[in-house]
Structure 1
Amino acid sequence: MVKYELIPAQLLYEGLVSTDCFFEPRQVDVSTIVLAHDASYVTALTDLSLDAKMVRRIGFPLSQSLVDRERYILDGTIQACTYALEHGVAFNVAGGTHHAGRDFGEGFCLLNDQAVAAAYLLDQKLAKRILIIDLDVHQGNGTAHIFEEHPCVFTFSMHGDKNFPFVKECSDLDIPLPDGMDDEAYLALLKENLDKIFTVFMPDFVFYQAGVDILATDKLGKLKLTAAGCRHRDELVLDKCRQQGLPVQISMGGGYSEHIKDIVNAHVSTYKTAIDIFGF
């Protein structure tokens, strides 16, 4: 998507970051991918031998360049985790591929970047209790599937009830939202549940899927949040992490507004919020 080129360009244009703030990912090793994904699925994916039914479920024609792209995204999120551990917060300009489950791809997601990164942190003993906050308008069904009943990972998804995927998985906490929800109702619900989760689960690392398809301008979202409401959402999440001294990795997730400027500006706003709250 063109937004993945426009976001860093806009960050540089506004003087929010410099070129040395960016890092370049590599293709992640298969041994890391299978920490979260089924080995037979990963083999079929990397060998380009997925059956036609699974390819249709993913939604993209399968190709080597597509698989390579996904592996770069995964490494980007893993590297962002290491920077978050050092600096408090770090981003993957892409990512948020939350529809990919343990042994399936879906909804244009082949592999789940934040799930693989979370499994990596646990495997490397860089974190013990991980919270994944998914505020894309679509449920993080793949993430829920991967970490079903996993005691060290808490999955929280706040999403459109009548939106894709139409068959939902069970996150540790799902908040289904009615069509047309506005800023006030959304933010009150988010604050209430964030307070509960951070108190009860007590994570030591946080992943944030910051999709901007909650905007009223989004063609697929069905919610009615303003740009200011979307920015306040980011403030609630990131301020909570900062107050508790928790590192947070952020992936961009979805955004399908008619005008690309609305998508890019909303994503850039998440960066601005992180810069303000974490004091860069």
Structure 2
Amino acid sequence: MVPIVYHPRYNITAFGLERLHPFDGRKYGRIRDALIQRGLRRPNDFIRPAPARRYELAKVHTPDYLGSLWSSNVLAGILEVPAVRRLPWWLIDWRILGPMRLAAGGTIEACRLALEHGLAVNLGGGFHHAAADRGGGFCVYADIPIAARLLHDEGRLRTVLVVDLDAHQGNGVASIFRGWIWARILDVYEHNLFPLHKEPEDYPLPVPPGMTGSDYLEVVHAALPHVLDEVRPDLVVYNAGSDPFDGDPLTRLKLSANDLVDRDLLVVTEARDRGIPVAMVLSGGYSALSWKIHADAVEALLTRFDRA
């Protein structure tokens, strides 16, 4: 079966403060529960990751940045929740940073499992706004570059391609990859969204607000096979944000829930048809239906790729 990585502590709760941000910090558990209720997995089928360790974080992040995360003021800015300034650091670490380190460890684990099994899904991760020396956009740890760096240093992969279809540009990943000749990024994003400053990328595909699902899928279908054939990566890390959804409050793209299922099937199928392993992470999504969109997409992937 396709390995699915999940830990109950992925879910972010902070005595109601999490409701001050539009991101649903509990959606990971909802996805997991839906997969069980639909008969796709049993409770013990999910792989629990270890949290990303300090030395793993330091593969990408600067010492000054990691040290700055002791500051509640710094974290309030990264998380975009000013009330975090009033919380003691130990509580932030327990309720927010700890879950994020677990999700980053989940991305590392999913990448390892993808190399072994061809496809793996982390029901979290995708913190693509975190750079080496800064965080932002609710992203503290650069989980994708950390996983790529670890596997590259271990000799497990020579080239990696990130396919980022979150509605926002993956500026943190792009800034880190700029110094790595073995890492590439294909990024489809709504051009006038956060972040204001767009980082240079290998294959940037900015699209206008209001784009429909059929037009969006045509853009992806036209670009992805060419990029896969040109880069010929040893691993694709797929950042499958649900925020291109028509009902997302922070974006203006017009994809339906079914369009997003088709999108995820398209990306994974194109890579697997070429024998390229895929590690999928979930990234952003701010609609109340984000969890269901992801659950439907993962169900479609399991239906096609499970070999039980």
Q: State if a TM-score over 0.5 links the two structures.
A: yes
Letter in 2 for 1:103: D
Partner in structure 1 of residue 80 of structure 2: 59
**1:31 maps to 2:61:** no
Give 2:301's aligned residue: 274
Corresponding residue of 2:267 = 237
Deviations 1:53-94 (A, max 9, x none): 674244243622222222111111111112212221111111
Aligned to 1:67, what secondary structure does the other structure show?
A: helix
**Following the alignment from structure 1 to structure 2, what is the Cα–Cα distance between the partners of residues 224 and 206?**
26
Amino acid at match of 1:271: V
Amino acid at match of 2:292: N
Kindly indicate whether the alpha-carbon contact (under 8 Å) linking 1:132 and 1:155 is maintained by their aligned counterparts in 2: yes
Counting only pairs closer than 5 Å after superposition, residues 7-22 of structure 1 correspond to structure 2 as 7-22=31-46
Query: Runs of 4 or more off by more than 4 Å in structure 1?
Result: none
Question: The residue matched to 1:208 in structure 2 has which SS?
Answer: strand
RMSD: 1.6
Q: Please list, as runs of the form range in 1=range in 2, the aligned pairs for 1:42-191 lying within 5 A after superposition.
A: 42-45=66-69, 48-49=70-71, 52=73, 55-60=76-81, 61=84, 63-65=92-94, 66-191=96-221
Is the Cα contact below 8 Å between 1:238 and 1:277 reproduced in 2? no
Q: Per the alignment, do residues 20 and 83 of structure 1 end up closer, same or farther by CA in structure 2, a change over 3 Å counting?
A: farther
Whether contact under 8 Å (1:235, 1:273) holds in the other structure is yes
- Structure 1 counterpart of 2:80, which letter? G
Alignment partner, residue 255 of structure 1: 285
Which residue of structure 1 lines up, in the alignment, with residue 27 of structure 2? 3
Q: Deviations over 1:102-134 (max 9, x none)?
A: 100001111111121111111111111100011
- C-alpha contact (below 8 Å) 1:77/1:95 kept by paired residues: yes
* d(CA) in 1 for partners of 2:130, 2:219: 27
**Aligned to 2:283, what secondary structure does the other structure show?**
coil
Q: What's the offset of the Cα at 1:21?
A: 2.2
Contact 1:242 1:277 in 2 (8 A): no
Contact 2:78–2:140 under 8 Å retained in 1: no
Measured against aligned partners, the alpha-carbon deviations of 1:9-57 in whole angstroms (never above 9, x if no partner) come to: 0000001112232111222211111112122212332xx147x367424
Aligned equivalents of 2:241, 2:100: Cα separation in 1: 18
Structure 2, unmatched stretches of 5+, are 1-24
Structure 2 length-normalised TM: 0.85
Quote the offset at 1:212 in angstroms: 0.7
Q: Distance in 1 between matches of 2:126 and 2:220?
A: 19
Does the 8 A contact of 1:242 with 1:278 survive in 2? no
Q: Which AA in structure 2 matches 1:169?
A: E
| Partner Cα separation in structure 2 for residue 56 and residue 96 of structure 1 | 19
Please report how far the alpha carbon of residue 176 of structure 1 lies from its aligned counterpart in structure 2 after TM superposition: 0.7
Residue in 1 aligned with 2:224?
194
Please identify, of 84-93 and 55-64, the stretch whose mean Cα deviation from structure 2 is larger. Answer: 55-64
Between Structure 1 and Structure 2, how many residues are aligned? 274
Native 8 Å contact 2:236 2:279 kept in 1 = yes
> Compared with structure 1, are the counterparts of its residues 57 and 77 closer, same or farther at alpha carbon in structure 2 (3 Å cutoff)?
closer
Match for residue 203 of structure 1? 233
Matching of residue 265 in structure 1 with residue 265 in structure 2: no
Q: CA deviation at 1:184?
A: 1.5
CA distance in 2, matches of 1:7, 1:56: 28
* SS of residue paired to 2:197: coil
Alpha-carbon distance in structure 1 between the residues aligned to 2:270 and 2:292: 23
Within the alignment, does 1:246 sit opposite 2:276 as a pair? Answer: yes
